[in-house]
């Protein structure tokens, strides 16, 4: 029987890899985690914890919170608060970034400490497959070593894509750079219509910067398009500019330090349309999987030709996370065809560890996973988008209950008239089983998390009607829906 250095080696120290490693170690396995961040073209790097902690969910939501605090400061005046020396409020980018980075550093330290306490070996090295059981490790000094493992999990996640245009890496940044920028971004062009693009443009506008979104087609592809367009309209009304139906054609670094961006239409002859100058250009067009970087091909791991993500085989102990190689698995964003969400990676990693080392049979359930987009008007959803529900069940078998409303908190400041929106999508032939819930407004993540369990348990619209809401809250809107889209009735709300 072969002897290996580790029972389990995980490539990637993000949320999923860390959760999996600690669970496996608690079950008695000898575990190592390899994590190494290749610097961005701008030289940005970060510590243990992966994208979410360092350059994703955590700093993103904190910067979103910064804009909300600014709004609350204005709202406070309507509630009777007076501030000494009142004038127009200002925001200090450097102070915000320093405090957010201090928090992230504390998380990095906590992760290293947790691995040590759990007995997990932390290898701060770039890991590349030599074969199915052997990994080459390159540390930050360039020194190479090898180690072996019985089982290996690929949890590398991904990095932001570029457009492939000349000079873009010298002229542009990505979300990997934005959250630790020492200088304020100034006038910013955000290229892309992903949730990252809209979230970043949203908080930049809220912090007082001139932000423009350049998008080739639709916002938030893959999400409910009525809700996506509602977000875009709200953002545009509140100061974010949109340039639709175009893509960048050239980037030029000017002597002033600004970037000149030229763009062209995506339709017609695709000729040059216009150009403008920006202090910062943020590329947010999606992410690519890091399977080439870890040399997965050397181990014989099958990846999807388009996404470069690991193809899960759905067999054996690995189940959905099982790669084409018996002892190699994949979790998180690097697994093809599943939601790119931190809690998904964490849960999948924990369950996989229990199957590999604890005798469990429980598989990850990837259906009806709630999520929230932290745009200026937040968007929480679980289940199917309306378009997807119609495609699956047919328009005649779908009933959509909906309403627009104004949260009570915004009545006194007199803003946000019908800026919030809720809809529930049901299948008529299945006793109005709920297959999708969507809400736009504030604190939507807190709202949709609770309702998510209803869809997991097969809730029907009658169950929502029987649920007594908490008054006065935005969440209770789901319990009082009456108007259907089919009826054509007025869904704009009035009163509390």
Active site residues: 471
Q: At what angle do helices 57-78 and 93-118 cross, to 10 degrees?
A: 140
- Cβ atoms of 403 and 483 within 8 Å: the answer is yes
Enter the tokens of residue 440: 């736009």
Question: What does DSSP assign to residue 419?
Answer: -
CA nearest neighbour of 402 among 495, 494, 477, 496: 477
- C-alpha dist (Å) from residue 489 to 387, 466, 475, 485, 492: 20, 23, 22, 7, 9
In angstroms, rounded to a whole number, what is the distance separating the alpha carbons of residues 54 and 17? 15
In angstroms, rounded to a whole number, what is the distance separating the alpha carbons of residues 53 and 37? 13
What is the separation, in whole angstroms, between the first and last Cα of the chain? 70
In angstroms, rounded to a whole number, what is the distance separating the alpha carbons of residues 42 and 18? 27
The DSSP H or E segment spanning 403 is strand 398-405
- Cβ atoms of 156 and 12 within 8 Å: the answer is yes
The angle subtended at Cα 381 by Cα 428 and Cα 367, nearest 5°, is 70
How many CA atoms does the CB half-sphere of 358 hold within 13 Å?
A: 17
Residue 472: cis peptide before it, omega within 30 degrees of 0: yes
- Cβ atoms of 336 and 312 within 8 Å: the answer is yes
Start-end of H helices in 172-215: 175-178, 195-206
The DSSP H or E segment spanning 72 is helix 57-78
Residue whose entry in the numeric block shows the structure tokens 């006194």: 412
């Amino acid at each position: 029987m072969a002897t290996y250095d580790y029972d389990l080696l995980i490539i990637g120290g993000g949320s999923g890899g860390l959760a999996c490693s600690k669970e496996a170690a608690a079950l008695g396995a000898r575990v190592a985690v390899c994590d190494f961040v290749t610097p961005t073209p701008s030289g940005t790097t970060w510590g243990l914890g992966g994208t979410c902690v360092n350059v994703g969910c955590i700093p993103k939501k904190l910067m979103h919170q910064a804009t909300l605090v600014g709004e609350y400061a204005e709202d406070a005046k309507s509630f009777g608060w007076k501030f000494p020396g009142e004038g127009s409020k200002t925001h200090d980018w450097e102070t915000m970034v320093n405090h957010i980075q201090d928090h992230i550093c504390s998380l990095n330290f906590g992760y290293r400490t947790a691995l040590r306490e759990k007995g997990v070996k932390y290898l701060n090295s770039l890991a590349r497959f030599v074969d199915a059981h052997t990994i080459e490790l390159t540390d930050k000094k360039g020194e190479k070593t090898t180690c072996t493992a019985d089982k290996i999990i690929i949890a590398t996640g991904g990095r932001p894509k570029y457009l492939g245009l000349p000079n873009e890496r010298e002229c542009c940044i990505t979300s990997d750079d934005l959250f630790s920028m020492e200088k304020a971004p100034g006038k910013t062009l955000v290229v892309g219509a992903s949730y990252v693009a809209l979230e970043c443009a949203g908080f930049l506008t809220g912090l007082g910067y001139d932000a423009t979104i350049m998008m080739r087609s639709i916002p938030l592809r893959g999400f409910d398009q009525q809700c996506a367009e509602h977000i875009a309209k709200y953002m545009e009304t509140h100061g974010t500019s949109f340039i639709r139906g175009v893509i960048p054609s050239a980037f030029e670094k000017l002597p002033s330090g600004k970037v000149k961006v030229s763009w062209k239409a995506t339709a017609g002859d695709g000729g040059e349309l216009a150009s403008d100058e920006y202090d910062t250009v943020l590329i947010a067009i999606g992410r690519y999987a890091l399977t080439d970087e870890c040399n997965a091909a050397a181990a014989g791991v099958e990846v999807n030709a388009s996404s470069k993500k690991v193809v899960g085989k759905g067999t054996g102990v690995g189940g959905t996370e099982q790669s084409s190689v018996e002892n190699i698995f994949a979790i998180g964003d690097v697994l093809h065809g599943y939601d790119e969400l931190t809690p998904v990676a964490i849960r999948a990693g924990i369950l996989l560890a229990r199957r590999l080392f604890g005798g469990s049979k429980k598989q990850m359930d990837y259906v009806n996973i709630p999520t929230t987009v932290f745009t200026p008007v937040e968007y929480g959803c679980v289940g199917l988008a309306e378009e997807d529900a119609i495609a699956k069940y047919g328009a005649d078998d779908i009933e959509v209950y909906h309403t627009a409303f104004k949260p009570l908190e915004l009545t006194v400041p007199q803003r946000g008239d019908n800026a919030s929106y809720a809809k529930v999508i049901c299948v008529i032939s299945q006793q109005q089983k709920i297959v999708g819930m969507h809400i736009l407004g504030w604190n939507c993540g807190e709202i949709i998390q609770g309702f998510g369990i209803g869809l997991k348990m097969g809730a029907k619209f009658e169950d929502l009607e029987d649920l007594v809401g908490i008054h006065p809250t935005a969440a209770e809107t789901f319990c009082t829906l009456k108007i259907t889209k089919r009826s054509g009735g007025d869904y704009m709300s009035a009163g509390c």
